[in-house]
């Protein structure tokens, strides 16, 4: 946490500390818990909490006497997300256009949010009309390059969410093969972390056109937090001729884009 200035306003500081008490592990808290966590007098905690409720930054459940974060955070989070999306698109678009034109490929820009990798931009070369976007799923199907990439570079909490969806998918669509696909995910994760990118081949992905390959490369914020990915899709024939150049150049582009978000 950043060091607070000497002239900080105590009541404002305390209000923000109350908001920071709420986490994924503690989405609801009683007043006594907030008071104990921050070593605040119970009446002081009540006054601050009541003010935050009035401003819609906290909500209070009269049935169980518990506080939780208020709906005001939804509009604020959407505002932040929109700014982040636009900044990422503006930064990445010139790189993807140059790459797509040079290698006659389809390029995609994907944003990682709420344990999901979502396509937010695509660049399709004018003479190369094949297009595949990353659907709005976490790790489904388990062979998607960007989905595997998201799993490999995610925090423990996001991994748990994606693994839950992964196992649910296997149970519904690949009965009796749970051990095999969990081992496959583990092997793929190890490979991705070693080589720095994820790949998929069309034979492994449902509904893909035969002979199509896709590779995804991570974009990081502050050098360590996964922000999204860039990926390219090409034919097996095109890829065979320029494999080394395609992978090396796209890897460098991902690093350049990441450097803009330090």
Q: Report yes or no on 76 lying in a domain.
A: no
154 and 51, same domain (yes or no): no
What are 116-122's contacts with CB under 8 Å, separation 24+? 116/150, 117/144, 117/146, 117/147, 117/149, 117/150, 117/228, 117/229, 120/85, 120/88, 120/89, 120/228, 121/89, 121/92, 121/93, 121/96
CB neighbours of 186 closer than 8 A, spacing ≥ 6?
none
d(CA 102, CA 217): 18
Tell me how many domains the chain contains.
2
- Domain containing residue 32: 10-70
Name the pTM for this structure: 0.68
pLDDT in tens, the chain (262 residues): 445 555 578 889 999 999 999 987 889 999 999 999 999 999 999 999 999 999 999 999 999 999 999 999 888 877 877 888 899 999 999 999 999 988 888 899 999 887 888 888 999 876 555 444 433 333 344 567 888 899 999 888 888 888 888 888 788 877 778 888 888 889 989 999 999 999 875 434 444 455 677 899 999 988 788 999 999 988 777 677 777 788 999 999 999 999 998 7
Number of neighbours of residue 178 by Cβ within 10 angstroms? 13
95 and 123, same domain (yes or no): yes
128 and 45, same domain (yes or no): no
Q: Report yes or no on 2 lying in a domain.
A: no
Q: What is the pLDDT of residue 203?
A: 39
Q: Report yes or no on 77 lying in a domain.
A: no
Question: How far is C-alpha 158 from the geometric centre of its chain's CA atoms?
Answer: 9
133 and 231, same domain (yes or no): yes
CATH number at residue 60: 1.10.10.10
């Amino acid at each position: 946490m950043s060091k607070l200035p000497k002239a900080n306003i105590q009541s404002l500081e305390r209000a923000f500390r109350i908001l920071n008490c709420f986490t994924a592990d503690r989405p609801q808290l009683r007043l006594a818990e907030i008071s104990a966590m921050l070593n605040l007098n119970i009446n002081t905690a009540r006054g601050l909490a009541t003010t935050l409720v009035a401003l819609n930054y906290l909500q209070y459940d009269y049935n169980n006497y518990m506080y939780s974060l208020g709906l005001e955070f939804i509009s604020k989070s959407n505002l932040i997300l929109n700014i982040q999306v636009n900044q990422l698109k503006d930064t990445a678009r010139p790189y993807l256009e140059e790459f797509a034109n040079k290698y006659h490929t389809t390029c995609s820009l994907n944003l990682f949010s709420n344990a999901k990798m979502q396509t937010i931009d695509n660049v399709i070369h004018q003479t190369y009309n094949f297009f595949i976007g990353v659907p709005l799923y976490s790790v489904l199907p388990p062979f998607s390059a960007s989905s595997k990439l998201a799993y490999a570079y995610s925090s423990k909490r996001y991994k748990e969410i994606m693994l839950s969806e992964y196992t649910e998918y296997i149970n519904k669509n690949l009965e009796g093969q749970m051990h095999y696909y969990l081992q496959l995910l583990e092997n793929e994760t190890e490979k991705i972390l070693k080589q720095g990118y994820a790949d998929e081949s069309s034979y492994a992905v449902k509904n893909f056109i035969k002979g199509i390959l896709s590779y995804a490369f991570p974009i990081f914020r502050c050098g360590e937090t996964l922000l999204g990915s860039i990926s390219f899709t090409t034919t097996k024939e095109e890829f065979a001729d320029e494999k080394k150049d395609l992978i090396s150049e796209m890897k460098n582009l991902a690093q350049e884009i990441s450097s803009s978000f330090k």
